[in-house]
């Protein structure tokens, strides 16, 4: 009986019955053993094995096969007609074919197997090396990322400090003219909001410098800044607008409210005596409604003109200009 289906298989196949008789063999097995495809096979498979392998089969392989129905990775030596042993690996499985119990033996050259194994080991080693290189690269990337993030934090801090510095008046610690822009943003998004600006200018400040020294003049500027801060609300923005001039932005304040704040400024400065000197300020006030452009320049200009008017009218007073009638306190 032959089983043609095995002739197509790429490996060497032997089929035996339960009495260890050779039932069939495919051409690959012939080629493997005899280097010829049509060689005849012995009746019992025992004759195909070297003596040592035959004993091993009788004592181990067949008992295992009969018990488990299959055996894997058995190392045997086939007995070639020229007398030389051929090392092979064998997988055997019991099965039913054409109503007959048979055992199918698949043979692989042991040498090929060890070559495959060493190739596999080599590939595994390469993949392990690659994995470790990848891990190193990943670790390095993580470090670089951390360094980059740290640098970004430093840069952001530096940028923040720079922004604060460029928006701050170093003498008084108040915002400077540039800081006015963010104050405008603070006025709110909605147009139609009423706001006021107070321009506060120290009277006869040149005389203060000339009489008491420039340093004393600086003290006066610092103290006036504090007086104005005391008069302002949390939501107001105070900046040193230039020289001895300060600007106070009052969101949501109409003319009347701005005049009340101005009055408070006059009183606080009179009481505080900035730099230990009795002095007065002139205040120009202006009130407007915020338009869509958020442009406060026209209102600033009006407040500036109002300061000029206050000076002209004798100083130590507030003049209000703007959409409202001029008022003088
Ligand atoms: N100490 C000091 N003085 C300054 C500073 N900035 C500007 N000044 C001085 O402020 C003075 C301003 O003088 P003026 O513009 O004549 O004004 P004023 O003397 O206050 O006179 P009126 O404004 O008309 O009352 C000048 O002498 C400037 O040198 C500063 O940062 N520190």
Q: Say which CATH number the domain at 94 has.
A: 3.30.450.20
pTM of the model: 0.60
Of the three residues 112, 137, 153, the one that is the final residue of a domain is 112
Look at ligand 1, atom 23, and give the residue with the nearest C-alpha.
Answer: 203
Of the three residues 95, 112, 129, the one that is the final residue of a domain is 112
pLDDT of residue 184: 75
Q: Is the CB of 245 under 6 A from ligand 1?
A: no
For residue 208, report the distance from its CA to the centre of ligand 1, in Å. 8
For residue 214, report the distance from its CA to the centre of ligand 1, in Å. 10
Q: Is the CB of 91 under 6 A from ligand 1?
A: no
pLDDT of residue 101: 93
Look at ligand 1, atom 12, and give the residue with the nearest C-alpha.
Answer: 206
Look at ligand 1, atom 27, and give the residue with the nearest C-alpha.
Answer: 206
Which is the closest atom of ligand 1 to the Cα of 207?
19
Q: Is the CB of 216 under 6 A from ligand 1?
A: no
For residue 231, tell me if it sits in a domain: yes
Residues 74 and 190 in one domain: no
pLDDT tens digit sequence for 155-205: 999 999 888 888 899 999 999 988 887 777 666 665 567 899 999 999 999
Which is the closest atom of ligand 1 to the Cα of 282?
25
Residues 185 and 309 in one domain: yes
Residues 84 and 224 in one domain: no
Name the burial class of residue 299, with classes exposed (0-12), middle (13-18) and buried (19+) by CB atoms within 10 angstroms of its CB: buried
For residue 137, tell me if it sits in a domain: no
- Best mutation site among 243, 309, 316 for ligand 1 pocket (most ligand atoms within 8 Å of CB): 243
Of the three residues 89, 112, 135, the one that is the final residue of a domain is 112
ipTM of the complex: 0.97
For residue 309, tell me if it sits in a domain: yes
Q: What rounded mean pLDDT belongs to the chain?
A: 88
Strand partners, 104: 15, 93
For residue 276, tell me if it sits in a domain: yes
Q: Is the CB of 221 under 6 A from ligand 1?
A: yes
Residues 13 and 97 in one domain: yes
Q: Is the CB of 244 under 6 A from ligand 1?
A: yes
Residues 210 and 310 in one domain: yes
pLDDT of residue 203: 98
Residues 90 and 182 in one domain: no
The residue whose two tokens read 């203060």 is 208
Structural domain boundaries, residue 11? 4-112
Strand partners, 184: none
Regions of the chain where pLDDT drops below 50: 324-329
Q: Is the CB of 311 under 6 A from ligand 1?
A: yes
CATH number of the domain that 243 lies in?
3.30.70.270
Radius of gyration of the chain (CA): 51
């Amino acid at each position: 009986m032959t089983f043609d289906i095995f002739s197509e298989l790429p490996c060497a196949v032997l089929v035996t019955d339960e009495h260890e008789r050779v039932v069939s063999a495919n051409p690959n097995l012939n080629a493997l053993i005899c280097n010829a495809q049509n060689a005849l096979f012995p009746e019992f498979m025992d004759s195909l094995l070297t003596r040592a392998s035959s004993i091993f089969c009788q004592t181990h392989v067949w008992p295992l096969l009969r018990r488990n129905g299959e055996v894997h990775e058995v190392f045997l030596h086939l007995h070639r007609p020229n007398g030389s042993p051929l090392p092979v690996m064998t997988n055997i499985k019991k099965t039913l074919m054409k109503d007959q119990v048979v055992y199918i033996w698949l043979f692989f050259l042991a040498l090929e197997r060890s070559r495959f194994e060493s190739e596999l080991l080599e590939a595994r080693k390469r993949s392990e090396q690659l994995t470790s290189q990848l891990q190193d690269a990943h670790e390095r990337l993580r470090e670089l990322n951390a360094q980059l993030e740290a640098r970004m934090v430093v840069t952001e801090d530096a940028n923040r400090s720079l922004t604060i510095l460029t928006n701050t008046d170093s003498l008084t610690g108040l915002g400077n003219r540039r800081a006015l822009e963010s104050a405008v943003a603070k006025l709110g998004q909605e147009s139609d909001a009423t706001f006021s600006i107070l321009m506060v200018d120290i009277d006869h400040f040149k005389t203060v410098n000339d009489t008491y020294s420039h340093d004393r003049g600086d003290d006066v500027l610092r103290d006036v800044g504090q007086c104005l801060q005391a008069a302002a609300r949390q939501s107001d923005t105070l900046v040193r607008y230039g020289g001895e001039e300060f600007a106070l932005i009052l969101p949501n304040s109409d003319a009347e409210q701005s005049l009340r704040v101005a009055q408070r400024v006059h009183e606080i400065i009179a009481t505080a005596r900035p730099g230990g000197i009795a002095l007065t300020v002139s205040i120009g006030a202006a009130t407007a409604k915020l338009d869509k452009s958020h442009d406060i320049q026209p209102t600033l200009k009006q407040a500036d003109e109002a300061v000029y008017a206050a000076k002209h009218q004798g100083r130590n007073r507030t003049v209000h200009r703007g959409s409202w009638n001029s008022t003088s306190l």
